[in-house]
Amino acid sequence: MRESTGGTRERIKAVALELFTEQGYEKTSLREIAERLNVTKAALYYHFKSKDDIVASFVEDRLEQMDALTAWADSQPATLATRRALISRYADTMFGGDMPSVMRFFEQNQTVLKSLSSGQQMRGRMMRLASALCRGDDSPAAQLRATLSLFAVHTSWFAVRAPGISDGERRRLALEVADELLAAIGAEPDEDSASTSTAGARG
């Protein structure tokens, strides 16, 4: 049975990611990807014309996941339960399948990512997700907390440097920190905080 076109694309992406991780993006050629796949360069070109096209496909997959998360959140009530469910789903997309390897590649190849038009769209999608997380509370503090909760998950790939930490432990820690931030969104400020803010404004 012949492999489906979609299956072939996914296999190319998986092998390319392996090589990018092993020897670096710049040092990997399309010829090497084709050789590891045991296909001709012409067969590879049918799906991807360049290494940038392969990386762009990783980014596009990520953008689709983020759009789906935002659409789901918009259909839910603006509650803490929804915020917690959304950040958990976001973590699922970050830690599932090949995503750990993809995220490490993104982190190690920021220049490549920023040069792609699809890569430049990532920031906008992050801001939409942050808006979904603080829906119902449009205060600057809520906006900042929502964004930082996403970063807690996103940056856990390089901010947590404990040797031997598993992906599961990294995910749990990231969600712990994110939850501390999300719990304060929509909450009434306590009297001490309100008094301090007022005094600061008068001073």
Amino acid at 75: S
Residues 71 and 32 in one domain: no
* Backbone Cα Rg of the chain: 21
DSSP alpha helix (H) spans, 41-79: 41-47, 51-74
Question: pLDDT tens for residues 21-43?
Answer: 888 888 899 999 999 999 888 98
* Residue pLDDT, tens place only, 134-192: 999 999 999 999 999 999 998 888 788 888 888 899 999 999 999 999 999 987 655 44
Provide the pLDDT confidence category of residue 2 given band limits of 50, 70 and 90.
Answer: very low
Residue 98's pLDDT band (cuts 50, 70, 90): confident
User: Does any domain span residue 95?
Assistant: yes
What's the rounded Cα separation, in Å, for the pair 152 and 96?
Answer: 17
pLDDT-above-70 percentage for the chain: 89
Cα–Cα nearest to 18, from 3, 28, 7: 28
Local confidence band at 198 (pLDDT 50, 70, 90 cut-offs): very low
Query: 83 with 104, same domain?
Result: yes
Mean pLDDT of the chain: 85
CATH number for 119 = 1.10.357
Cut 0.85: pTM above it: no
| Residue-number span of the structural domain to which 15 is assigned | 1-49
